[in-house]
Structure 1
């Protein structure tokens, strides 16, 4: 039992490290917003979470963010890292909890869909009322300046409503849907060796 727990923790650390590495392959989506950076780090979080459970998923996310801060530092006074944690949890935890009760392909699809929808809703509120207000305060900026920066690359953005409609929602939708599709097709192949390692 003790060996199994050690293997679970070890696997969470490995998956967190993989998520960290995937962060280096991020790319900007300027048509949506200069603040929108897409990467595949949520993939090991969701796959690892399906195997290790919700606590394992949180461990993977925390390890990823810890490695980012240790090796890259923060470029947003921790607002980006806080947002990353909140949205990662909002995406993976509902999906994992649903899938644990409905272990079928349909259950996985529904779970991933729930996680996608909830993470988009959370993203709207955190962007408007938590992360950007904190960012604005810490950097001595204003919402008008943030919107002007966004409008420079996306002319459809003119106010907070259009910022949500043409940046926050489409970016998070594309990000989560892409991750969900990859998870759906890769899970079986990746989960087998991981489960073998844990149960060995």
Structure 2
């Protein structure tokens, strides 16, 4: 029982630390130069959330996404009437949760890549639905139908796609290197190679 409590405490500490790292990364946001919507800014705070989700399960990723947005509100406040933080949370979990769900069904390099592909598709779909039906109206922006179509096609779709690719690529590289050292779990990214070595 004591051993289980230690494991849970260790997990809680690591999830909290990942949340804190994510908050720091939120300060380093930047726009994509060729997009005509300057408020669409990329930050890499979803990387700690995706790493935590890969290590501890989809719910851990959701907790990290929630934690970072609550912490940023405490330390920085909101300049968007909470709309920006809600958007960050919704879009973040739409990438992180599906990716981790697929990966945890059978941990391997293949399922990690498939999960991140699913997460990329989800972030595109959820991003469009959330913006058109909730976030844009909540922010007080009034757009005609053609303006919404323009915003989605040359704004949201490329923005979320680029963000997902950056987050997933960096997570894949980093998680492979630190999964055992920091999270004490085997990523199984090299499982095929291990089987080949055993058969030689």
Q: How many residues align?
A: 181
SS of the aligned residue for 1:193 comes to coil
Alignment of 1:94 onto 2:98: yes
* Corresponding position: 1:128 with 2:116: no
The answer (yes or no) to whether the contact 1:54–1:93 under 8 Å persists in 2 is yes
Q: Tell me the residue number matched to 2:175.
A: 187
Contact 2:19 2:64 in 1 (8 A): yes
Give yes or no for the alignment of 1:28 onto 2:28.
no
Does the 8 Å contact 1:102/1:108 carry over to 2? no
Q: CA-to-partner distance for each residue in 1:50-96, whole Å, 9 max, x for gaps?
A: 00112211221121111100010001000111111111111000000
Match of residue 154 from structure 2? 166
Partner in structure 1 of residue 107 of structure 2: 103
Q: Which runs of 4+ in 1 moved over 6 A?
A: none
Unaligned residue ranges in structure 1 (runs of 5+): 148-157
Counterpart of 2:80?
A: 76
RMSD across aligned positions (CA): 1.6
Alignment of 1:110-125 (within 5 A): 110-125=114-129
- 5+ residue gaps in structure 2? 186-200
How far residue 30 of structure 1 moved from its aligned partner, in angstroms, is 4.4
Structure 2: distance between partners of 1:82 and 1:30: 24
- Per-residue CA deviation, residues 87-146 of structure 1 (Å, 9 max, x unaligned), is 11110000001000121111111000000101110000111110000101xxxx5226xx
Q: TM-score, normalised on structure 1?
A: 0.86
Structure with higher RCO (Cα < 8 A, 6+ apart): 1
